Homo-oligomer: A and B are copies of this chain.
């Protein structure tokens, strides 16, 4: 194992820290760890396997950091709202997971995928109900969204153009029963995993991608249609992102649950609804007495390919994020997104009486991360939780 440490000379904007760490993993498969310390200015530590070309990696890391930090300095997130009720110091995310595991409430199925039990499961389902109820209060109709999306859905919407690396691609074995009959003998490895290299599969042309963002199939459903009155829906769905070496516990899972609210209508209607959604974000911070903030934000971006989009999103305040406090840290747990007519154009959706190109906005609650923050801030004894959270779990 080789390790390189770099003390950066510039501060790294808080919203860029995670993106920076995630992107560095994509320089080379040999990179096994990337850490950015909390110091000002921070120390960056990159670990890679012995057979990696450390000099080449170091040069790339330096080039990347320089580019990203410089670009990020041009525009900064703005804090719109902040809450800091006094409940003592939140527990760090790793410590929350350790204590949940100790109680049998959290169990890892595979890196980034977990089983929840006990109070963790009750809180998870309860929060989804609470968010769903609030969505219906805004006039949203229930929809059920699938996780298995057509690859063409994510090409048409533009998602894969900048985010192919986060995709979880789905394939199947090609029809050939002699191969299937010999599966155990041919494909089960000594370590109990599987190796399909001898089989014909659809992996080169995967027909499906696991939903990386809950709202994607809604626009496809409306393709070519005119929504005379606003189409306002809410649904629950599990989403999936491959996060490479940055995958970590409940803080950054590969599979996570989302309660989504989607609005499709006129430009004016979408702007008004977006304002309501921002209100909902503030409301939940207050109602649950959580330590957190509402800030303008940008989507994770991939080195140069979509870094400009961050500036665009921040400058126009197209994305707001609810961030919840963990011990010495915070986690993005919900976002409100203004899409303009992006999806209206991609899917030829029109709206209103004048048949204008449809505009849309959405809000997604990352339920697992709300759970993480609740345990971090209020502990494991439900009787000491704020009243609104006790109600969520029916206590």
CB pair A113–B171 under 8 Å, yes or no, is no
Assess whether A176 is interfacial by the CB under 8 Å rule.
Answer: yes
A164–B144 CB distance below 8 A:
no
The docked-state distance in angstroms from the alpha carbon of A174 to that of B27 is 10
Contact mask for chain A residues 21-57; partner B; CB cutoff 8 A; 1 contact, 0 none: 0010111110100000000000000000000000000
Q: Is the Cβ of A110 less than 8 Å from the Cβ of B242?
A: no
Copies per complex of this chain? 2
Interface size on A, residues (CB 8 A): 91
A91-108 residues at the B interface, CB under 8 angstroms:
107
Find out whether the CB atom of B161 lies under 8 angstroms from the CB atom of A193.
no
Chain B residues with CB under 8 A of A142 = 117, 121-122, 125
Contacts of A303 in B (CB 8 A): 177, 181
CB of A151 within 8 A of CB of B235, answer no
- B233 and A148 form a contact (CB under 8 A): no
Interface of A is mostly: mixed
Q: How far is the CA of A85 from the CA of B305 in the complex (A)?
A: 62
In contact, B233 and A117 (Cβ under 8 angstroms): yes
Q: Are B172 and A169 in contact (CB under 8 A)?
A: yes
Tell me whether A207 and B168 are in contact (CB under 8 A).
Answer: no
Q: Which of A152-160, A271-279, A288-296 contacts B (4 or more CB under 8 A)?
A: A152-160
Q: Give bound CA distance, A109 to B219, whole Å.
A: 10
Separation in Å of the A332 CB from the closest CB of chain B? 21
Contact residues in B for A150 (Cβ distance below 8 Å): 109-110, 113
Residue of B with least CB distance to A149 = B109
Let me know if A208 and B167 touch, CB within 8 A.
no
Q: What B residues does A235 contact at CB under 8 A? A: 121
Q: Are A152 and B193 in contact (CB under 8 A)?
A: yes
Task: Give chain B residues whose Cβ lies under 8 Å from the Cβ of A112.
Answer: 148
Q: Which residues of A (199-218) have their CB < 8 Å from a CB of B?
A: 201, 203-208, 210, 217-218
Q: Which residues of B contact A203 (CB under 8 A)?
A: 169, 171, 196, 201, 203
CA distance A25 to B180 in the complex (A): 13
* Structural contact, B149 and A110, CB atoms closer than 8 A: yes
Of the candidates B176, B233, B304, which one forms a contact with A181 in the assembled complex, judged by CB atoms under 8 Å apart? B304
Q: Which residues of B sit under 8 angstroms from A244, Cβ to Cβ?
A: 172, 175
Query: Contact at A151–B193, with CB atoms within 8 Å?
Result: yes
User: Nearest B residue to A110 by beta-carbon distance?
Assistant: B150
5 tightest A-B CB contacts, nearest first: A203-B203, A110-B150, A116-B144, A164-B183, A172-B242
